[in-house]
Amino acid sequence: MHNLFEIDDWKIIENGFDSSKQKQAESIFSIGNGGFGQRANFEENYSGPSLQGSYVGGVYYPDKTRVGWWKNGYPESFAKVLNACNWIGINIEVNGKVLDLNKQTILSFYRELDMKQGLLIRKFRVRFESGKELEIESTRLCSMADDELAAIRYSVTPINFSGNVKFTPYLDGKVMNHDSNYDEFFWEEDSHKVDLKKGYVCTRTKKTNFTVSTAMRFSFWRKDELLDIHPNTFSKDFYVENNFEHFLEKGTKYTLKKYISISSTLNHSEFSVIPRSINKVRDAYVNGFDKLLDDHISAWKNIWDKADIIIEGDSTAQQAIRFNIFQLYQTYTGKNEKLNIGPKGFTGEKYGGATYWDTEAYCLPFYLKTADPKVARQLLIYRFNQLDKAIENAQKLGFKNGAALYPMVTMNGEECHNEWEITFEEIHRNGAIAFAIYNYIRHTNDESYLMQYGRPVLFAIARFWAQRFNWSEDKKAYVMLGVTGPNEYENNVNNNWYTNYLAKWCLEYALTVNEKITDSSFERLSLAEITSWKKLTASIYLPKIEGSNIYLQQDGFLDKEQLTVNDIPENQRPINQHWSWDRILRSVFIKQADVLQGIYLFEDHFDLNTIEDNFDFYEPKTVHESSLSPCVHSILAAKIGRLDKAYELYLLTSRLDLDDYNCEADEGLHITSMAGTWMAIVEGMAGIRVFSDRVVFRPVIPKNWKSYQFQILVKNKPIKISVSHHEFEIENKGAEDLELFIFGESISIQSGNCYTAHTPKIKTV
Ligand code: BGC
């Protein structure tokens, strides 16, 4: 696969401007700070293809549902995180001609995403029709140290002339969502104000009444000398600007430093958002750009010190894993309990910025091992807080007695999704939430969370499963009809193995948790529930290919023509962009890990042969057209000793957006699957598993890596792992001793000590 941008260990680099890549680049070079985020749109005007995007976490609007054929049970709206006030704008004019990279001759262009320092940098030279040449350098940051601040340092140097240049820093709140269902404008104005070198725009979402105040300040410099300028001010609804013309001397650099603060009623009271943003931007302005920059860089350093993965000998892989970690932390830092992780983060509008099962199935394991356990706890409590809505949601679909169906897509707990085969049928999402509770507990043993928050969620989900199975007289087993598994290229199937298996496990786990209840104030399962769930779980139908250990994705899967991905001509990939939907549904091709997703989650339930046989059956049929897929296959490939395959799938998952494998990076990045990429190294290559009763290590190393190393928390204990072709080392960085199973052998590493051994040439289990 061809690399879209240059390879570098810490940077993404674009040398030379190609407007056909601009929308992809806008996504890939996005920056954010967990509180808000910004696509890599240009500060100056740009009339070429672009998706202008600034997103403020948690601020959403319920966009009226649009469907071809209404089905009972569809939600009225889809809650979307909104494209908000454009704060980056700085227009430049020379003799009445607006700087626009779509119009002038571009003499050079360089764009860089510096992931170590969290900076978006550009440097370019243009020639106007008049022959006048300008060089521009810009540095942009969304402060990681303070998630309400951002800043831009924008320098202009006239190369071959001295003369007037006009600068217009502005804020524009008149922003439309590109994905608005009815071309509706989601904002109304609260107020705006402009003054010399400062201003704010405060807008409010219709219906949901989120108020967002965006304030700016700026200063203007000739080299290091602060200039006293007297701009004109202009404002209109939703918009404020300052503009000034200044005489620039040939060859001299002039810099505009623009400071931004964004405050919203997600975190502050209605009355405080405007003064807050004004005060914060004033402080940032007074402290200066360099202070903001230093604080920002040291906040990133703290993240990298804990979460970095160092790969020696393979810059392609190194750049990719850092890009994935970088984007995850830009999207979610765990600081704000009201936020969750949208599949596109702050890099695009698709998926509406809402919460999917991706959070529990993919992101939670990442935060569990790289962040303080309260981050994972907080993600789980987010679902606890939405339990009532999940119960209501299940009631609407006819379930009773406190059964909960969590939404496929949500902002506030209400379902937003509106395709029947997913909204009503892709119910495995419930299982991922239950599994996440279990996963958190096996990492932390946080029994107080389990009893107070996990238990009610788990019981309500289990009640849903209990009602969703029905007895089949024909099969003499409980079956689950009309579902969509993780593989969305099959809809309305019966007995999706993954869903049945997960539901069975969930019922059993709920029964186990019930037995642990000692405090009588906590609700217990009724005797009737216990009896009927035990009966149910003993006879759940789990389809299998007869005479083999291969689990069947769903009833009838073998009726399909058993082709492999190699049978699809290259020019018809991805099939979702080339084939009609019915053709996809009838084909054997699998969008994303399905049976293998289950085998991955419950790996300790299966022997190695079973894992291998299922991998060999399903991997050749999987097109990996969901970003969530290749990482799971990569982990299993490493487990069964297919290191080349594991590596190939690792590159696919880690460079999915960087090289735009699925031709959709222009819409935004696949943030949630980036956690899966990280798992492909930690769980795949390093073979780390945290089970309830033990922690297991089986490190291997791809042949073209010299070494790799990282730090993680296992059961809350910090460890550092280094693996080379000769040996691997595990350092216990915690205060307590560490008990591990390394290639099956029980090892104890004392606090502060290292364990070193030869890295096996042939993988064992
Ligand atoms: C996948 C889902 C996923 C969603 C958001 C879809 O393409 O099939 O499993 O939840 O994207 O990432």
**pLDDT tens digits, residue range 712-741?**
999 999 999 999 999 999 999 999 999 999
Q: What is the pLDDT of residue 353?
A: 85
The tens digit of pLDDT for each residue in 88-142 reads 999 999 999 999 999 999 999 999 999 999 999 999 999 999 999 999 999 999 9
**H-helix or E-strand spanning residue 381:** helix 373-385
Q: Which atom of ligand 1 is nearest to the CA of 343?
A: 12
Q: What is the pLDDT of residue 449?
A: 98
Q: Is the beta carbon of 77 within 6 A of some atom in ligand 1? A: no
Q: What is the dihedral of CA 651, 655, 660, 665, to 10 degrees?
A: 140
Q: Which atom of ligand 1 is nearest to the CA of 358?
A: 10
Quickly count: other Cβ atoms within 10 Å of residue 583's Cβ.
Answer: 11
Average pLDDT (324-328) is 98
Question: What mean pLDDT value characterizes the chain?
Answer: 96
The tens digit of pLDDT for each residue in 672-699 reads 999 999 999 999 999 999 999 999 999 9
Average pLDDT (454-463) is 98
Interior angle at CA 637, CA 631 and CA 641, nearest 5: 145
Q: Which atom of ligand 1 is nearest to the CA of 429?
A: 10
In the chain, % of residues over pLDDT 70: 99
Q: Is the beta carbon of 124 within 6 A of some atom in ligand 1? A: no
Average pLDDT (459-474) is 98
In a domain, 486, yes or no: no
Residue whose CA is closest, atom 6 of ligand 1? 626
Determine the distance separating the centroid of ligand 1 and the alpha carbon of 437, expressed in angstroms.
21
Q: Is the beta carbon of 343 within 6 A of some atom in ligand 1? A: yes
Please choose, from the candidates 682, 632, 627, the residue with its C-alpha nearest in 3D space to the C-alpha of residue 655.
627
The active-site residue, picked from 488, 529, 612, 619, is 488
Ligand 1 binding pocket mutation candidate from 347, 356, 484 (most atoms within 8 A of CB): 356
Where a domain ends, among 660, 685, 710?
685
pLDDT at 760 over 90: no
Ligand 1 binding pocket mutation candidate from 328, 490, 496, 626 (most atoms within 8 A of CB): 626
Determine the distance separating the centroid of ligand 1 and the alpha carbon of 552, expressed in angstroms.
21
Where a domain ends, among 274, 305, 336?
305
Determine the distance separating the centroid of ligand 1 and the alpha carbon of 187, expressed in angstroms.
28
Q: Is the beta carbon of 668 within 6 A of some atom in ligand 1? A: no
Q: Is the beta carbon of 357 within 6 A of some atom in ligand 1? A: yes
Q: Which atom of ligand 1 is nearest to the CA of 426?
A: 9
In a domain, 718, yes or no: no
222: domain CATH number is 2.70.98.40
672: domain CATH number is 1.50.10.10
CA 540 to chain centre: 34
Can 425 be counted among the known catalytic residues? no
In a domain, 734, yes or no: no
Domain assignment of residue 23, given as a range: 11-64+78-305
Determine the distance separating the centroid of ligand 1 and the alpha carbon of 70, expressed in angstroms.
22
Q: Is the beta carbon of 154 within 6 A of some atom in ligand 1? A: no
In a domain, 223, yes or no: yes
In a domain, 464, yes or no: no
Q: Which atom of ligand 1 is nearest to the CA of 670?
A: 12
pLDDT at 76 over 50: yes
Residue that wins the pLDDT comparison between 762 and 212: 212
In a domain, 550, yes or no: yes
Determine the distance separating the centroid of ligand 1 and the alpha carbon of 296, expressed in angstroms.
32
Q: What is the pLDDT of residue 662?
A: 85
Tell me the three state secondary structure of residue 394.
helix
Count of the separate structural domains present in the chain: 2
pLDDT at 763 over 90: no
In a domain, 469, yes or no: no
Where a domain ends, among 642, 657, 685?
685
Q: Is the beta carbon of 629 within 6 A of some atom in ligand 1? A: no
The tens digit of pLDDT for each residue in 273-293 reads 999 999 999 999 999 999 999
Give the pLDDT band of residue 762 (cuts 50, 70, 90): low
Q: How far is CA 400 from CA 15, 466, 485, 522, 525, in A?
A: 59, 11, 23, 20, 15
pLDDT at 761 over 80: no
In a domain, 536, yes or no: no
Determine the distance separating the centroid of ligand 1 and the alpha carbon of 239, expressed in angstroms.
37
The tens digit of pLDDT for each residue in 349-380 reads 999 889 999 999 999 999 999 999 999 999 99
Average pLDDT (744-757) is 96
Residues ≥6 apart with Cβ < 8 Å to 627: 653, 656, 662, 670, 672, 673, 676
Q: What is the pLDDT of residue 1?
A: 65
